[in-house]
Structure 1
């Protein structure tokens, strides 16, 4: 079979690449870029850290350049100006999504807010997220549930203190983040720090995080889709089906409980909000669509939040003067023995600056979630053709010395007294994206990042398990989010 299959693959790919290039050649120039190899294009050039490779290539080819990933023509923006052109000025044209092979499971490609076309149904769901699910009122209503889970984190780390054990910070943060997500979404309650439910979701998330970090050849060479040569779709299908089965079970239990006990007090969680919406007339949302919204929120937040908080703790532990400054600020507002509440965040500017500075250096999605051009569009004198994949190199912008002074250093002070936030208005700093496709869960993510960091810093002193040089602690690996190559481990002690 191989003697027939691979020559056929090469021939078809060459024909497709030739057609692709000739179709887009002509009087209107495409963005410049490195010369592609036959069939595979620039695929092998990218390596394991494509965001770094593309950052280096941009220095030669400019802030708007193009590469070929197999048959997938890709345009990469590496400056705030080009990001603003693509995401804001021409945001409607570049609002599409290239659909990965794995997202065809359960019709996620059609029903997920992250991947569905930016039409009326998509706009309705975005409106629901903005006005109901992630509104200040809704998040304030579920704060008590998150406080309970953060207190469990304090008690769990306190047990490590008593035993003198080292803490695997990544593992503890993953459990905590899952607990926060589960209780905010479903009011999931358990006296244990790591319940059976949390362990189930943890197993699913860990497999998804690792598997989706591997480039799927079928996305770049369409002829391979029928063969699934790496087994990625089969693995991810299994985990996605597990997630949807759990979401549907929880949803059906909630619906049955409301039917049997219509006078019972309502829960203060996001699922209750979504069910209420389906039973009203203000928004166009069906019960069948709820699992897809839950999928977006859960998969989009679990790994990214965990990795981001681990990077925050990493930078603080390797910069003890910054850690001490943050602890002093929290103590001045809360007191040494007080309990931090989400309302205090506005009075903790250095905490906000620490989170921002970490997201600048370690954006969870260094190349953003790809977009797709819905039509031919001229940008900066170049023609971006319909169907092109669009990447925004947020990692490159965060390390650009023309934007940030001494960009490799961890300096939260650079954000103090400056009106620079991550809400999509300042294109040099868009860790949650910008424009029409900005992350809808940003309000919840910001609370989780800030509160979890504050709780860990306020309640404990920390000492690294091993003193390593400053280069080692920045080693990273790309999965669903940009995570540490080796989990952070440290000894906690009580204040």
Structure 2
């Protein structure tokens, strides 16, 4: 876009000199009109969208739930829509075909990031894979490391016993809670399990040693703060001149949360380096693997990138898993017939010893249908992480300039009645027949995105979610402290969709394996 500022200087000159300058003046005026015409032409080539108000654009139309507001606007303006918020012009893709254009057909051109002000806390954007350009050598080195150590089936299998031990400890806690008839915050519990599963996978130890520890609240607050502020519409992003003021204190909150996570991970990495210097036996966890990889690729992937990657994975992994488990348990408690059917499937596969094992449940179709249906109704990332055009991009008849932010409204896509029958109903059976999965190839359902920016932790997250949910359902009945119709289903918008109020229920141990 072009912006013009004209300053008119009145200078007394002779008429003859004016006449001599006239061709230059006219040429200059014509040139600027030409540029202005190009600017207007390009604006006409953008997708349609609300006109908005001067200065603030369509800010008042967005509200606290942008995914819902943008979905409503897309019904009027179409699959590609232009939305202006302050000085920022963005494109919103709201259908599977539009998402495919952005994430597959024009993946390379749309793979940039417009970095929010919150991500600049502790210079986080310089080391975080989420915000790096895919043209960056460090970004490619990080992706290679993740492909080797995080999405690798053999590596995940080798560490499955550690994750299993975490779940077994949780089951003991729930049995004791059931015996005492104590209500449990399922979201807080799921967060703790996910955090300890992640820490065992990466650090070979629990970060939380007691389910009643105050440290849980510190970790959870840090993670939820990061997910909220990175997804929140920030006035400093909409009006960049306000960034130094941080008017909503978003960067300050982000800095506090990142600092919490950074200090935690820094302590564990320093301890591991001392352990390696002493030539003690290796742990064989992902931290060991990443440290080895950093020694081999120090120019592209050094110690600060190891720390940043672990922070990223802790934040994304614990949040996504705990949010999905919380919403899944909410839907199961509201739909007891689905819960019973799921329990029967798990019972059929666990064998005579009645033990839920990660290896046994990875192929359970109804369990995965329940998880997929949960993510369809309660999108883990409702607008994904926003993309940015690296070059000028053409979508059909529309032309989008370089450096334009693009949102993919996965929440709207997964609830669109044109692609989903009875989209507002919780119906896991739909995933038994439609063969759609979460891996990014089916654009009607994009919980983790698609293309080169797709979430690299999908495989680990799916294993963790499956094991936690299957165990909660198989070993326990659950009693709500209120009637089902009193359940609060409100959401808190951020990079993920948190449940606005805690899910509280009493675990009632099932006395024997159901046969």
Report whether the alignment pairs 1:171 with 2:208: no
1:149-186 deviation line (CA, Å, top 9, x unaligned): 11111111112101111111111112222111222221
> Counterpart of 1:411?
427
Q: 1:147 aligns with which of 164, 167, 185?
A: 164
Q: How does 1:294-373 map to 2 (within 5 A)?
A: 294-335=310-351, 338-373=354-389
Q: How does 1:27-426 map to 2 (within 5 A)?
A: 29-119=45-135, 120-189=137-206, 192-193=210-211, 198=216, 200-212=218-230, 214-260=232-278, 262=279, 264-280=280-296, 284-335=300-351, 338-426=354-442
> Counterpart of 2:10?
none
8 Å Cα contact 2:67-2:411 kept in structure 1? yes
Report whether the alignment pairs 1:492 with 2:507: yes
Aligned-pair Cα RMSD in Å: 2.2
8 Å Cα contact 1:101-1:225 kept in structure 2? yes
Q: Determine helix, strand or coil for the equivalent of 2:342.
A: helix
User: Could you tell which deviates more after superposition, 345-354 or 102-111?
Assistant: 102-111
Counterpart-to-counterpart distance in 2, 1:166 and 1:23: 64
Structure 1 stretches of 5 or more lacking a match?
1-11, 13-19
> Counterpart of 2:27?
none
8 Å Cα contact 2:261-2:311 kept in structure 1? yes
> Counterpart of 2:32?
none
Q: Determine helix, strand or coil for the equivalent of 1:483.
A: strand
CA pair 148-61 structure 1, distance change in 2 beyond 3 A: same
Aligned length in residues: 475
> Counterpart of 2:451?
435
Q: Determine helix, strand or coil for the equivalent of 2:81.
A: strand
Q: Determine helix, strand or coil for the equivalent of 2:506.
A: strand
Counterpart-to-counterpart distance in 2, 1:172 and 1:346: 22
Normalised by the length of structure 1, the TM-score is 0.91
Q: Determine helix, strand or coil for the equivalent of 2:92.
A: strand
1:317-348 deviation line (CA, Å, top 9, x unaligned): 10111000000000011148522222112431
Q: 1:25 aligns with which of 12, 34, 40?
A: 40
Distance apart, 1:284 and its partner CA:
4.8
Distance apart, 1:272 and its partner CA:
1.3
Counterpart-to-counterpart distance in 1, 2:274 and 2:424: 54
Q: Determine helix, strand or coil for the equivalent of 1:36.
A: coil
Runs of 4+ in 1 over 4 A off after TM superposition: 20-24, 194-200, 209-214, 281-284
Structure 2 stretches of 5 or more lacking a match?
6-34, 511-515
Counterpart-to-counterpart distance in 1, 2:296 and 2:401: 42
User: Could you tell which deviates more after superposition, 329-338 or 227-236?
Assistant: 329-338
Distance apart, 1:392 and its partner CA:
0.5
Distance apart, 1:195 and its partner CA:
5.2
Counterpart-to-counterpart distance in 2, 1:268 and 1:451: 22
Counterpart-to-counterpart distance in 1, 2:376 and 2:204: 32
Q: Determine helix, strand or coil for the equivalent of 1:292.
A: helix
Normalised by the length of structure 2, the TM-score is 0.88
Counterpart-to-counterpart distance in 2, 1:359 and 1:181: 20
Distance apart, 1:482 and its partner CA:
0.3
CA pair 169-236 structure 1, distance change in 2 beyond 3 A: same
> Counterpart of 1:9?
none
Counterpart-to-counterpart distance in 2, 1:122 and 1:253: 26
1:423-461 deviation line (CA, Å, top 9, x unaligned): 110011110000110001111111111111001001101
1:234-265 deviation line (CA, Å, top 9, x unaligned): 121122122212212211110110111x2x33
Q: Determine helix, strand or coil for the equivalent of 1:144.
A: helix
Counterpart-to-counterpart distance in 1, 2:196 and 2:97: 39
CA pair 372-209 structure 1, distance change in 2 beyond 3 A: closer
Counterpart-to-counterpart distance in 1, 2:372 and 2:220: 27
Distance apart, 1:314 and its partner CA:
0.6
Counterpart-to-counterpart distance in 2, 1:237 and 1:21: 41
Counterpart-to-counterpart distance in 1, 2:318 and 2:39: 40
Counterpart-to-counterpart distance in 1, 2:427 and 2:39: 45
Counterpart-to-counterpart distance in 1, 2:68 and 2:353: 43
Distance apart, 1:132 and its partner CA:
2.1
CA pair 194-212 structure 1, distance change in 2 beyond 3 A: farther
- Which structure has the greater CA radius of gyration? 2
User: Could you tell which deviates more after superposition, 176-185 or 194-203?
Assistant: 194-203
Counterpart-to-counterpart distance in 1, 2:226 and 2:120: 15
CA pair 173-300 structure 1, distance change in 2 beyond 3 A: same
